[in-house]
Structure 1
Amino acid sequence: MESFFISTGVVALGEMGDKTQLLAVLLAAKFRKPWPIILGILVATLANHALAGAVGQWVASLLGPELLRWVIGVSFLAMAGWMLIPDKVDDDAADSKVLLGVFGTTVLAFFMAEMGDKTQIATVALAAKYPDFVSVVAGTTFGMMLANVPAVYLGHKVAERIPMKLVHGIAAAIFAVLGLLTLFNVGNLW
């Protein structure tokens, strides 16, 4: 359960103000059909995070525990720094052709926007750290949904009231703590 809760929390906080959350707002404003957008986000996230989780498990199988601990610890610290850099929505992702419909457009836009994104990289690191693939992918997916479903429904109203610098700072601190705990092998996390 630890892997699920940590994965959920890290991704939910990491997603606040992220380009895919901004993409959710843009898609909601453009199409005004929340259910196909939410289902599209779910499908795209499951596919993307399952792929990222598989990569993380594969990396873990290649490296020994000591090297893996250092790679993951440094990765979490790098994620902490990356969290402090605000994202912007790529115009290409937001302007996907409507030929695919609302659902198809959302799946394609979200899957592509998540490629190489902070939450995808975090999923790789979490899957390398925790052996329970299903819990990690379920947790990161749930975290994405926690951050993006309200964005679909509330959009700009929420973004205006929540100081994103604070949210990014909290997420960066969590990644930094995870990185340090991993590097110093606190609590025998391995």
Structure 2
Amino acid sequence: MESLFVSTGIVALAEIGDKTQLLALVLAARFRRPWPIIWGIVIATLANHFVAGAAGHWVAGLFSPTTLRWILAACFFAVAIWTLIPDKLDDDEASSLKRYGPFLTTLIAFFIAEMGDKTQIATVMLAAQYQQLLMVVAGTTLGMLLANVPVVLAGHFAADRLPMTLIHRLAAACFLALAIYAACQALGLGSTA
């Protein structure tokens, strides 16, 4: 259950202010039909994060446990810094897909926007750290939904009132904590789970 809870919390925090959250806001404003947008987010995230999780699971088998923990520590540290840099969304990302309707537009736009995004990278790293691939993918998908569904349902109201700097700092602190945890495990100071 740890893999589910950690994955959910990390991705939910990292997603706040991310370009895919801004994309959700743009799609909600353009289509004004929340449920097709939400289902598009669910399916795109499941597909994207399953591929990312499978890659992380595969990578975990390529390295010794100690080497993998050092790699994870470095990656978590890099994502902690990356989280402090606010994302912005090019308005053209969703506008060229608008002709496909809210569900298909969201599905395509979210899948593409997540490629190489910090939450996708986090999914790779979490799947490499935890052996429960399905729990990691379920957790990262749930984290995406926790961050994006309120934006779709509430529009600008929620996004305008959130303390973005504080949220980015909290997410960075969580990634930093994971980096320290992985480094402690690599040094043999933590459990070998």
Task: Give TM-score, length-normalised by structure 1.
Answer: 0.97
Tell me what 1:101 maps to: 101
Question: Tell me, what secondary structure is at the counterpart of 1:187?
Answer: coil
- Is 1:36 aligned to 2:39, yes or no? no
Tell me what 2:156 maps to: 156
Tell me what 1:180 maps to: 180
Cα deviation per residue 1:152-179 (whole Å; 9 max; x = unaligned)?
Answer: 0112111211110000000000100110
The whole-number CA distance in structure 1 between the counterparts of 2:62 and 2:5 is 26
The whole-number CA distance in structure 2 between the counterparts of 1:124 and 1:160 is 30
Tell me what 2:49 maps to: 49
Displacement, 1:94? 2.2
Displacement, 1:189? 4.4
- Is 1:12 aligned to 2:12, yes or no? yes
Displacement, 1:103? 0.5
The amino acid that maps onto 1:125 is M
Where does the alignment leave 5 or more consecutive residues of structure 1 unmatched? Answer: none
Tell me, yes or no, if the aligned pair for 1:84 and 1:172 is still in contact at 8 Å: yes
The whole-number CA distance in structure 2 between the counterparts of 1:123 and 1:95 is 28
Task: Give TM-score, length-normalised by structure 2.
Answer: 0.96
The whole-number CA distance in structure 1 between the counterparts of 2:3 and 2:107 is 26
Tell me, yes or no, if the aligned pair for 1:3 and 1:130 is still in contact at 8 Å: yes
Where does the alignment leave 5 or more consecutive residues of structure 2 unmatched? Answer: none
| Pairing 1:38-187 to 2, within 5 Å after superposition | 38-185=38-185, 186-187=189-190
Name segments (4+ residues, structure 1) moved above 4 Å.
none
The whole-number CA distance in structure 2 between the counterparts of 1:152 and 1:176 is 29
Quick one: percent identity of the two aligned structures?
60
Displacement, 1:9? 0.1
Moved more, 119-128 or 89-98: 89-98
> CA RMSD, aligned part only?
1.0
Displacement, 1:102? 1.1
- Paired residue total: 190
